[in-house]
Amino acid sequence: MSALLITTADGVRTITLNKPERHNAFDDALIAELAAAFRDAGHAPGIRAVVLDSTGKSFSAGADLEWMKRMADYSQAENLADAQGLSDMLEAIDACPRPVIGVVQGAAYGGGVGLVAACDLAVAAEGATFCLSEVKLGIIPAVISPYVVRAMGGRQARRYAVTAELFGAAQAQATGLVHEVVPAERLDEVRDKWLARLKGNGPEAMAAAKGLIRRAADDPLDSQLRHWTAEQIASRRASDEGKEGIRAFLEKRKPSWVVN
């Protein structure tokens, strides 16, 4: 059975973690597969959005136990290379030019929280649970921390990183880790609602908007950032997609990228 299922339909690439017997925990092989899958989805023609979901009861339990056993005997250099692979995978999700929707049906622990934080939009089932569990093992949520802090904020991330306490979907929404919480049977409904919205937007504009927010969230608000943002809107207004979108609005018609 493949640990990763990839399907494409109606401009949507769905990437599904498929190790339910191991709670969709990841090892170095699955991490490399995920990174490659998101890089491909970001540049494949016709893809408008990407969905990250999983099979079974858990979304992702983070690091696979067998992988952790192997890591226990790794040298410093081997551990660094291993951690860099995880970092590259999270960056492939976060920097994917297509909007990424995370659908969380169950537990997300450790690195699983990082996966959720790297998505642009995330919906969780009411029964989903979350935990930054690393300190229980004497380690830390280091590689996932930039994404978790951007999603939850430093204050909330500090609490859960040091306590390793379990928190539910409602608290995950309150911290900003997920955007909506619904009964499990409505996860597909929210996913499809978001997909419909995304398909109505300019594909190039959405990719540019993701890059815009990534930089605006991290850079100081100074003259350099203000100048860069002015350049960004000027480029979008002058682009073919930007011109088409404005013309369509003024002419009261759908833009060319909307498929009827």
- Contact status, residue 56 vs residue 26, Cβ threshold 8 Å: no
Residues 85 and 142 in one domain: yes
Residues 45 and 165 in one domain: yes
Q: Is residue 137 part of a domain?
A: yes
Number of structural domains (the chain) is: 2
Residues 174 and 46 in one domain: yes
Residue 237: pLDDT over 70: yes
Residues 99 and 157 in one domain: yes
Average pLDDT rounded to a whole number, residues 204-224:
92
Distance of CA 16 to the CA centre of its chain: 13
Q: Is residue 22 part of a domain?
A: yes
- Give this prediction's pTM: 0.94
Instruction: Give me Rg for the CA atoms of the chain.
Output: 19
Residues 136 and 16 in one domain: yes
d(CA 124, CA 259): 29
Q: Is residue 256 part of a domain?
A: no
Residues 171 and 243 in one domain: no
Q: Is residue 209 part of a domain?
A: yes
Percent of the chain having pLDDT more than 70?
A: 99
Residues 15 and 64 in one domain: yes
Residues 42 and 134 in one domain: yes
Q: Is residue 259 part of a domain?
A: no
Residue 93: pLDDT over 90: yes
Residues 48 and 169 in one domain: yes
* CB-facing half-sphere around the CA of 204: CA atoms within 13 A: 15
Q: How many residues belong to the chain? A: 260
Segments forming the whole domain that contains residue 79: 4-198
* Nearest alpha carbon to residue 94 among 111, 79, 77, 115: 115
Q: What is the band of 1 on the pLDDT scale with cuts at 50, 70, 90?
A: low
Token pair of 157 as six digits: 């991330």
Element (H, E) at 163: helix 154-163
Percent of the chain having pLDDT more than 90?
A: 83
pLDDT tens digit string along 148-207?
999 999 999 999 999 999 999 999 999 999 999 999 999 999 999 999 999 999 999 999
Measured between its terminal Cα atoms, the distance across the chain in Å is 37
Residues 84 and 174 in one domain: yes
Question: Quick one: pLDDT at residue 66?
Answer: 79
Tell me which residue has tokens 């450790």. Answer: 110
pLDDT tens digit string along 26-83?
988 999 999 999 999 999 999 999 999 999 999 999 888 777 777 777 788 887 888 8
Q: Is residue 235 part of a domain?
A: yes
Q: Is residue 132 part of a domain?
A: yes
For residue 171, the domain's CATH number is 3.90.226.10
Residues 47 and 24 in one domain: yes
Q: Is residue 260 part of a domain?
A: no
Catalytic residue numbers, as ranges? 134
Residues 211 and 137 in one domain: no
